[in-house]
C-alpha cells in the first residue's frame, strides 16, 4: 500500500517537472508587437483591414489573439487582412467543455477535472488545426498557437494534466497534417512568480505575462511592469522560453490628463518592459469596452504604436533589443532612471527611462572618443561635457547611439 502511494506521488510530481517537448523559438524578422482583439467594438468587420493597415504603417507586426470559438466574420476578415499585409498572427485554440457546451474559460477545480478526463480534446485540437491549415490566409498568417483557457495554475495537477494533453494534441495534429511545428504560447497573470512560471513554461515555447495592478498610481504601475518583466526574463533565460510582456489598454486615464501626458506615460511604461528584457509586446486590448470610449482607446493605441514604430520603423531599435548584446555601463544616477546598454554590430546603444516623479540628471561613462547621437528623445535634453550628460524630464525616455 505504501509502495503504491509513493508511486502515485512520484507520478504526480513528475507531471510538474518534466518537459513535454523541445522548445521551438519564434522565428521573427521584426520585433513582435501587437494588439489583442483588433476590430472588436466597431460593429463593422470590414474596418479591420483599414485598422490593421494603419497599425502596420506604425510598426505593428503581430495580430494578437481573439477569444471564443466561432470563426465569425470579424475574425475571418482580420486574418485575411493580416495575411494580405504579411503580418504574423496568434491563433487561440478553443476547447469546448462538454458539460457546459461553452468554450472552457478560467478553470475551476471541477471543470479542470472534467477537462482532464474529457476524451475529445485531441479531436477538437485536430479540427482547429485543420481549419488553419486548409485556409490559405490562415495558413500564411498564423505563426503561433495560443492555449485556452489561459492562466493555468501549476499547483493544480488537473490543470497541468490538461496543459500536457493539449500540447501533445497540438504536436500530434501538426505531425498528422504534415505541418512544421509552431511555437505554443500561454498568457500568465502578473502574480505568477518564477518557480510557478518554470513549471508551466516547461510545456510552452512562449510565455506572455500580464502587468496589471488595481493600484492605479504611477509607482504601482511601474512596479507591476518591472516585477513581471524581470521575473519572466529570468525564467526565460533558465528554461528557454520566449518572453512577451502584456501591457494594458482596458480603461481610461483620469480626465485631468492631457493626451500628450497619457502618451508619455505609455511610451515610458513600454520602454520599461523593453529595458527589463521583453522580447515582444502584446497590448490587451484594442477592443472598445464599457467605460472605455473609442476616443480613449485611440489615444492609448496610438501611444503604443509610436513605440512599435521606434522598434520596427526607420530607427529599427527592435533589431537592437532582439539581437544586441547587453553590457554594463557606469553612470552617476538616481535609482529613478532605468538604463540598458547594448552593443549591436559596430555601435553602442543606451536606452533610458525616467521612472521618477521629477526631472532627473545623470552622466554616462562611455569609451573616450565616442560621440552620442540622440536616436529618440521625448522630454529629454543631451549635452556632452566631460562625459555624456543627460537630463530626463518626468516620463522621459531616450535612446542614444554611439558610433564606434
Q: What is the pLDDT of residues 111-154, one digit of tens each?
A: 888 888 899 999 999 999 999 999 999 999 999 999 999 999 99
Mean pLDDT of 234-258: 96
The span from the CA of 45 to the CA of 40, in Å, is 8
> Does any domain span residue 3?
no
Mean pLDDT of 173-188: 97
348 three-class SS = strand
**58: domain range?**
26-323
> Does any domain span residue 262?
yes
What is the torsional sign of CA 38, 44, 49, 51?
A: negative
Summarised one tens digit per residue, pLDDT across range 269-317 is 999 999 999 999 999 999 988 899 999 999 999 999 999 999 999 999 9
**Are 58 and 152 in a shared domain?**
yes
Residue 379 · residue 399 · CB < 8 Å: no
User: Cell numbers at residue 13, please?
Assistant: 510530481
Mean pLDDT of 20-39: 91
| High-pLDDT (> 90) share of the chain, % | 73
Per-residue model confidence (pLDDT) at position 117: 87
User: Which of residues 289, 323, 357 is at a domain's end?
Assistant: 323
**pTM of the full predicted structure?**
0.93
| 3-state helix, strand and coil shares in percent for the chain, rounded to the nearest 5 | 40, 25, 35
Per-residue model confidence (pLDDT) at position 10: 33
Whether pLDDT at 210 is above 90: yes
**Are 317 and 332 in a shared domain?**
no
**Pairing between β-strand 142-147 and β-strand 62-63 as defined by DSSP bridges:** unpaired
Contacts of 371 (CB under 8 A, 6+ apart): 384, 402, 403
**Are 319 and 334 in a shared domain?**
no
Whether pLDDT at 4 is above 70: no
The span from the CA of 232 to the CA of 291, in Å, is 30
DSSP conformation class of 347: E
The span from the CA of 229 to the CA of 126, in Å, is 34
Confidence of residue 386 (pLDDT cuts 50, 70, 90): low
Per-residue model confidence (pLDDT) at position 365: 85
Amino acid at each position: 500500500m505504501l509502495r503504491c502511494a509513493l508511486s502515485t506521488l512520484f507520478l504526480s510530481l513528475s507531471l510538474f517537472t518534466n518537459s513535454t517537448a523541445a522548445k521551438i523559438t519564434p522565428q521573427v524578422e521584426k520585433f513582435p508587437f501587437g494588439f489583442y482583439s483588433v476590430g472588436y467594438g466597431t460593429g463593422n468587420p470590414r474596418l479591420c483591414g483599414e485598422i490593421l493597415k494603419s497599425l502596420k504603417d506604425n510598426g505593428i507586426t503581430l495580430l494578437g489573439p481573439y477569444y471564443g470559438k466561432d470563426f465569425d466574420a470579424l475574425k475571418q476578415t482580420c486574418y485575411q487582412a493580416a495575411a494580405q499585409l504579411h503580418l504574423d498572427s496568434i491563433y487561440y485554440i478553443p476547447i469546448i467543455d462538454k458539460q457546459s457546451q461553452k468554450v472552457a474559460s478560467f478553470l475551476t477545480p471541477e471543470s479542470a477535472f472534467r477537462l482532464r478526463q474529457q476524451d475529445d480534446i485531441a479531436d477538437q485540437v485536430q479540427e482547429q488545426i485543420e481549419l488553419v491549415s486548409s485556409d490559405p490566409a490562415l495558413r500564411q498568417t498564423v505563426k503561433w498557437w495560443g492555449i485556452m483557457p489561459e492562466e493555468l495554475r501549476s499547483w493544480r495537477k488537473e490543470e497541468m494534466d490538461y496543459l500536457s494533453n493539449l500540447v501533445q494534441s497540438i504536436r500530434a495534429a501538426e505531425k498528422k497534417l504534415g505541418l512544421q511545428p509552431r511555437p505554443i504560447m500561454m498568457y500568465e497573470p502578473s502574480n505568477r512568480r518564477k518557480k510557478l512560471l518554470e513549471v508551466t513554461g516547461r510545456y510552452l515555447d512562449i510565455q506572455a505575462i500580464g502587468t496589471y495592478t488595481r493600484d492605479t498610481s504611477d509607482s504601482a504601475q511601474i512596479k507591476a511592469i518591472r516585477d513581471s518583466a524581470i521575473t519572466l526574463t529570468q525564467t526565460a533565460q533558465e528554461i528557454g522560453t520566449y518572453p512577451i510582456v502584456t501591457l494594458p489598454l482596458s480603461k481610461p486615464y483620469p480626465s485631468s490628463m492631457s493626451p500628450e501626458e497619457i502618451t508619455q506615460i505609455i511610451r515610458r511604461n513600454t520602454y520599461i518592459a523593453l529595458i527589463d528584457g521583453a522580447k515582444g509586446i502584446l497590448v490587451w486590448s484594442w477592443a472598445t469596452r464599457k467605460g472605455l470610449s473609442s476616443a480613449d482607446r485611440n489615444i492609448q493605441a496610438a501611444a503604443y504604436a509610436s513605440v512599435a514604430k521606434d522598434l520596427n520603423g526607420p530607427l529599427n531599435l527592435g533589431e537592437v533589443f532582439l539581437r544586441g548584446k547587453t553590457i554594463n555601463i557606469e553612470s552617476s544616477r538616481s535609482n529613478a532612471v532605468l538604463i540598458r546598454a547594448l552593443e549591436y554590430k559596430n555601435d553602442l546603444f543606451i536606452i533610458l527611462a525616467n521612472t521618477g516623479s521629477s526631472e532627473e540628471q545623470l552622466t554616462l561613462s562611455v569609451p573616450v572618443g565616442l560621440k552620442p547621437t540622440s536616436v529618440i528623445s521625448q522630454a529629454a535634453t543631451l549635452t556632452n561635457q566631460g562625459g555624456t550628460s543627460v537630463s530626463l524630464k518626468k516620463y522621459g525616455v531616450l535612446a542614444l547611439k554611439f558610433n564606434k
